[in-house]
Amino acid sequence: MRRVFSFLTGILVGGLVGATVGILLAPASGEEVRSQIQERSKRLRDDIMEVAEARRAELERELEALRAPYRKE
């Protein structure tokens, strides 16, 4: 478990360092970069919300299927 946590921490830190270097060396202006970051973060948030909602619906269907045999009708 500790190795997995260390690995994930390394990926996170590496990603942040890479993103920072990429922003600093980008040929676009700061305003353009900020705009792109905002747009991408909004798209990422929307994608995450969509996937989370789909997974939630899937889990609710599975829960309903598991509960069905125990319901008194």
The series of mean pLDDT values per 10 residues for the chain, 73 residues long, is 83 87 77 86 93 94 92 73
Structure tokens at 19: 């993103």
Instruction: Give dist(CA 17, CA 67) in Å, integer.
Output: 47
pTM above 0.75, yes or no: no
Burial 29-66 (b: 16+ CB within 10 A, else e): eeeeeeeeeeeeeeeeeeeeeeeeeeeeeeeeeeeeee
Quick one: pLDDT at residue 31?
83
Segments making up each domain of the chain, as ranges? 2-70
Q: How many residues does the chain have?
A: 73
